[in-house]
Amino acid sequence: MAKRDEYGRKMWVMPKWMEPMREMILDTGGNPVEELVNDRTTQVQTNVVRALLCVSVKDQVHLLYSLARNGMLKNTPTDAEFTKDLV
């Protein structure tokens, strides 16, 4: 069963095909990638640094999805893997 946050929303988990690229995702500030992607409460007005880390990491993850979907990465996932783990 998928892990859910305090609001009942499904939390994103890094897919297996993306694991080898985990260390290449920059600007995490020492935080786990999943924590930053799943952060939906940090606001720029209250914590600008964390909010920018979240945006940066989410964009990098979306870029990896786009590259894989267009066949620009080695060992790209199947269509079935894409539909089950989209951000």
Are 26 and 58 in contact by the 8 Å Cβ rule? The answer is no
**DSSP per position, 16-67:** GGGGGGGGG----TTS-HHHHHH--S--TTT-HHHHHHHHHHHHHHHHHHHH
The rounded distance, in Å, linking the Cα atoms of 3 and 5 is 7
Contacts of 23 (CB under 8 A, 6+ apart): none
| Averaged pLDDT, groups of 10, the chain, 87 residues long | 74 91 92 94 94 96 91 73 57
- Tell me what pLDDT residue 54 has: 96
